[in-house]
Amino acid sequence: MNATLHNDRLLRALLRQPVDATPVWLMRQAGRYLPEYRAARARAGSFMALCQTPEWACEVTLQPLARFPLDAAILFSDILTVPDAMGLGLTFSDGEGPQFARPLRSAADIARLAVPDPEAALRYVMDAVRLIRRELAGRVPLIGFAGSPWTLATYMVEGGSSKDYHRIKGLLYDQPGLLHRLLEVTAQAVTLYLNAQIAAGAQAVMIFDTWGGILTPRAYREFSLRYMAQIVAGLTREAENRAVPVILFTKGGGAWLEAIAATGCDAVGVDWTVDLGEVRRRIGTQVALQGNLDPAVLYAAPERIREQVAQVLADFGTGPGHVFNLGHGVQPGVDPERVGTLVAAVHELSASQPPHGDA
Ligand code: 1CP
């Protein structure tokens, strides 16, 4: 494996080291807003075929990097490959969300779950990671990822996306012990899966807790944060003679950022509902921060995008430890040119703010 990394801004910022300009990547930077993504998906036949064919996953991962000078690649895959490997049978129908053929509907379903061997059931992901690293040739680092146990459990129990989460919340309040068994086995699966991605070449990893924000503060600590902390404690933190930073992101978790930062992660992802300057005052000396432009800003005119980027940079202020991102993923209706405007603005405006190196 080529160990030389030509652009290490992302890894440096995640470790709160000085950088020449703020690194930027975007959640869902590969995806439906790109016409070349839609064409690849049509040729591959389905979303799962894209994920399960390393050459397709590699091609799609690199698509946004061919257009924009992003500071990181993120593996093209999905958080739901793990429950699929646990036997739930994942499909994505056109225009609809994910669906499991065998959702968890009984104590017996949960008792039967086993931790999959990532180099067997998820070998296609590891092969994609190895191929992407080869093709990137050290241009930028590759981010690996997984879903949080709580977020994965919502899909496994609901059977797909949900509006009211009544099944998973019913389980939480009626049979918390059973939910803990599900979260425990999922946490073990995610730990092995992320460590396998790191062994295959992922240079930073991120845990997406998309649905942590639907919990009460107490339930968040017990059913989501605790299992993310367990994963953080079990991760390989160094590979190829470099630290492998860990990013935790709970959408809607603005009230709990201190607790998230205390898990031992290196960086905390922040959605757009909190002010980055305040977040920095709360936790910015312990961890790096990633975020937090409102994804809807990408529907605005280029000049407005530049202003909003400048605002997020100003909110963070000077000093190391900022990775620019959206507060959630790029939406499918966004014009790719606006993404180009955003990326250029982050680099230009942050490079002209002098003191990047001082804490
Ligand atoms: O072509 C299509 O129609 C599929 C759209 C799509 C894409 C592009 C899905 C289905 N997943 C992905 C890729 C994906 N998913 C990535 C790739 C890397 C990148 O960011 O570019 C990542 C990191 C994810 C992670 C993911 N999948 C999350 C966590 C992050 C988030 O967005 O909150 C979640 C919740 C999923 C589940 C999922 N997969 C796909 C959809 C439409 C959904 C969400 C369903 C729902 O709203 O409940």
Contacts by 301-310, CB closer than 8 A, 24 or more apart: 302/337, 302/338, 302/341, 305/338, 305/341, 305/342, 305/345, 306/341, 306/345, 306/349, 309/342, 309/345, 309/346, 309/349, 310/345, 310/349
pLDDT confidence of residue 358: 44
Pocket of ligand 1 (CB under 6 A): 27-32, 41, 47, 74, 76, 78-80, 92, 97-98, 145, 161, 208, 210, 329
**Backbone phi, then psi, for 146, in 5-degree steps?**
-155, 165
Model pTM above 0.85: yes
pLDDT digits (tens, 9 = 90+) for 275-287: 999 999 999 899 9
How far is residue 99 CA from its own chain's centroid? 20
What DSSP state is assigned to residue 221?
Answer: I
Please, which residues have CB within 8 angstroms of residue 301's CB and are 6 or more apart in sequence? none
Centroid of ligand 1 to alpha carbon of 44 (angstroms): 17
∠94-97-101 over CA atoms, to 5°? 95
pLDDT digits (tens, 9 = 90+) for 311-358: 999 999 999 999 999 999 999 999 999 999 999 999 999 997 655 444
Rounded distance, CA 24 to CA 246, Å?
A: 16
pLDDT confidence of residue 93: 84
pLDDT confidence of residue 269: 98
DSSP β-ladder status, 242-243 and 98-100: unpaired
Residues of the chain under the 70 pLDDT cut: 1-2, 353-359
Question: By alpha-carbon position, which residue is closest to atom 14 of ligand 1?
Answer: 78
Best mutation site among 37, 46, 77, 79 for ligand 1 pocket (most ligand atoms within 8 Å of CB):
79
The string of DSSP letters for 125-178 reads HHHHHHHHHHHHTTSS-EEEEEE-HHHHHHHHHHSB--SS-HHHHHHHHH-HHH
pLDDT confidence of residue 352: 74
**76, 51 in Cβ contact below 8 A?**
yes
Question: By alpha-carbon position, which residue is closest to atom 9 of ligand 1?
Answer: 78
